[in-house]
Structure 1
Amino acid sequence: MDTQERRRLLLDSLRTANKPLTGAFLSKKFNVSRQIIVGDISVIRAGGVTIYATPRGYVMPQEESLGLVAILACKHDDKLMRRELEIIVDNGGHVRDVIVEHPLYGEIRADLMLSTRHDVDVFQQQMTECDGKPLSLITEGVHLHTIEVPEQEVLDRIRNQLQEAGILCNQ
């Protein structure tokens, strides 16, 4: 199989996947190194295709949106991170990403793609296993989340609960 064929099949795999696909899984599937997969993903992205690299693997966005997209400004220590994410997903929200404003590098964004409590559990487990720290550590807890919700009522409920938990910045 040549490079172009592998990239086409890789893209097909991502389009039809119903869960994130890890670099390790894809490298095994195509019998190449993980670094080759990383390079292939970069080339595909450079061609204009949106592929998210999440803590659980690569995903492509679903065609249909949940409805409304909002950006929430939050501030908390790492002890409240799980609670913040649970409030969003338990109320029917989807957490696309986390964004921080670095004083030197500017905006730093990481794709999260969390929709369920199970997704939050896996994310938290991976952070613990790799001894990772939240991006918001570099901004004293201040960060943004892009979220999707099905309707305004859900967004209002999420905002209210984050406010009650002392997580939402005054907007």
Structure 2
Amino acid sequence: MAKQEKLIGEQRREALLSWLKTSDAPITGTELANKAGVSRQVIVQDISLLKAKNEPIIATSQGYLLMQTQPETPMYERIIPCVHTPEQTEDELNTMVDAGVTVKNVIVEHPVYGDLEALVMVKDRHDVKNFLARISSTNAPLLSVLTEGVHLHTISSDTEEKLDVCELHLKQKGYIFE
């Protein structure tokens, strides 16, 4: 994206909301910064100000996303307990998205901080590939390394059957923690 004329304060925050509202996919802080003609740090600060005004913006591993109003079709969710090695992460995530579910988050229980939750928001193999590339490029450890591979995922789908299939496939591969 070409760098644009620098937007100022409230005008920039209104533009950020507009860009997020019209995007079907997450937008990175760098992309938003380029569009607004400011630094990524300014975008981070703007997002914080917008969140403080109760704008439903979430930060995912792929960028910022504005939570839309309720979908027309009902969504079903389930929290599933998983365990695997870091090397099995790609197979675990692909198994879930191949069943037609979205992996919303990962949750681990830390002995000091309690539950630590991070948004994952992957719905297909392309998202999985990008998520893992980001983990790799930043050398960021997976949260599950804090708990010897034990973690929870919140999964969602438009049918309960897809959640059942997902859980069955994970169990068959030995990824369900029992």
User: Take 2:48 and 2:115, find their aligned partners in 1: how far apart are those partners?
Assistant: 20
Equivalenced residue count is 170
1:28 alignment counterpart: 34
Q: Tell me how far apart the structure 2 counterparts of residues 146 and 74 of structure 1 sit (CA, whole Å).
A: 11
What whole-Å deviation, never above 9, does each CA across 1:27-54 have from its counterpart, x for those lacking one? Answer: 1111111111001111111221222211
Match for residue 126 of structure 2 among 118, 122, 141: 118
Identity, in percent, stands at 39
Counterpart of 1:48? 54
Q: Secondary structure at the match of 1:74?
A: strand
Which letter maps to 1:73?
Answer: P
Cα offsets for 1:101-144 (capped at 9, x unmatched): 11111221111110110100111112222222210100111111
Deviations 1:141-164 (A, max 9, x none): 111111111111111111111111
Q: Which amino acid aligns with 1:122?
A: N
TM-score, normalised by the number of residues in structure 1:
0.93
How does 1:19-168 map onto structure 2 within 5 Å? 19-63=25-69, 64=71, 67-168=75-176
> Aligned letter for 1:159?
E
Aligned partners of 1:24 and 1:34 also within 8 Å: yes
AA in 2 matched with 1:129: S
Displacement after TM superposition at 1:66 (Å): 5.8
2:4 maps to: none
Residue segments in structure 1 that go unaligned for 5+ positions in a row: none
> Which blocks of at least 5 consecutive residues in structure 2 are unaligned?
1-6
Instruction: Supply the distance in 2 between the matched residues of 1:2 and 1:132 (Cα, whole angstroms).
Output: 33
Match of 2:20 among 7, 14, 17: 14
- The DSSP-based 3-state class of the residue aligned with 1:21 is coil
Distance in 1 between residues matched to 2:67 and 2:89, nearest whole Å: 24
Per-residue CA distance 1:51-81 (angstroms, 9 max, x = gap): 2211211112343166201111111110111
Task: Return structure 1 stretches of 4+ with deviation > 4 angstroms.
Answer: none
TM-score, normalisation: structure 2:
0.90
Separation in 2 of the partners of 1:51 and 1:87? Answer: 28
